[in-house]
Structure 1
Amino acid sequence: MTTQTDHIEISMLISRFFRALDERKFEGDWARSYFTDDVRTVTPIGSSDGIEAMEDTKEALGRYARTQHIASDVLVDAEPVPVRAGASWNALMTHVHHDATLQQRGKDANPLFTVGGYYEAELRRTGQGWRISHMSVRAVWTTGEPPVLPPEIQPTQAA
């Protein structure tokens, strides 16, 4: 059974992570504030393993001028002696394209690429508090056009 404290700590971790993305706070060992060293992430454009792979997140956000990530309805399920937990939450992710992208696409280009979906995560309690050890995002709907991806990145197909 999840304690109220576990739910609050995990919800705050998620909120702080989303805020760090939007404020582009990637100083020092930023990823270790949210993730375990062996983290695995799964997104519509691929999977990454290990804390070093979180550099992919910085690169992905750099494709946009600004972003806003909103998390809601966080559900947490922790073990009776909480060492591990699962969490899921709805997310609305708004991405503002760079001016250069809009110029390239023409005068009627939509400045926004918006994604509605949800996240699922597994977490572990560490000496520094709860950390995400596995996180996946599933896009349910999108509006606008995504950025042009480099040729080496191919989006995964939804099942």
Structure 2
Amino acid sequence: MTTQWEHHDISTLVSRLFRALDAREFAEGWADGYFTDDVRTTTPVGAAEGADAVRHTEVAIGRFARTQHMASDVVVDVGGDGDAATASWNALMVHIHHDSTLRERGEGASPLFTVGGVHDAELRRTPGGWRISRMDVRAVWTTGEPPVLSG
């Protein structure tokens, strides 16, 4: 059974992760507060593991001038031993293109690329608290043009 404290801790982890992404808090070791060393991620632009997953996240965020990630309806289920959990949440992810992207796309290009999606995650309890060991991001809908993926 999931306690209110476990739900709070995991929901707070999700909120802090989204805030860190939007603030671009990518100092050395930043991901240690959110992910296990062997994290596996799957997003609409690919899959990655471990350090590659962290770099993939940093590169994805860097494709935009600014972002705003919002999570809601976090559902948490802690397993029987209390050291593993699953979580799922809805997300609204707003991305603002770089001026250079807008210039390349020409007059009338939308500055926004917005995604409504669902995140499904597996988490492990560590000495430092809950950490995400797997995270799948599934886009349900989008508006605007996605980022330029080359280069």
Residue in 2 aligned with 1:130? 130
Q: Distance in 1 between matches of 2:52 and 2:128?
A: 19
Kindly report which structure 2 residues correspond to 1:140-159, keeping only aligned pairs within 5 A, or say none.
Answer: 140-150=140-150
Alignment deviations for residues 5-34 of structure 1 (CA, whole Å, 9 cap, x no partner): 100000000000000000000112001100
- Give the match for residue 116 of structure 1: 116
For the 8 Å contact 2:122–2:133, the answer to whether it is kept is: yes
> How far did residue 79 of structure 1 move?
1.6
Flag structure 2 segments of 5+ consecutive residues without an equivalent: none
Q: Which residue of 2 aligns with 1:58?
A: 58
Amino acid at match of 1:120: D
* Structure 1 contact 32–51 (Cα < 8 Å) conserved: no
TM-score between both structures, scaled by the size of structure 2: 0.97
Report the CA distance between 1:51 and its aligned residue: 3.2
Runs (4 or more) in structure 1 with deviation over 6 Å come to none
| TM-score of the aligned structures, taking structure 1 as reference length | 0.92
Native 8 Å contact 2:47 2:53 kept in 1: no
In the TM superposition, residue 52 of structure 1 has moved relative to its aligned partner by: 4.3
- Equivalenced residue count is 151
**Percent identical residues:** 64
Q: What is residue 105 of structure 2 aligned with on the other side?
A: 105
> Residue in 2 aligned with 1:95?
95
Q: Give the alignment's Cα RMSD to 1 decimal.
A: 1.0
Distance 1:117 1:53, change over 3 A: closer
* Other structure's SS at 2:74 match: strand
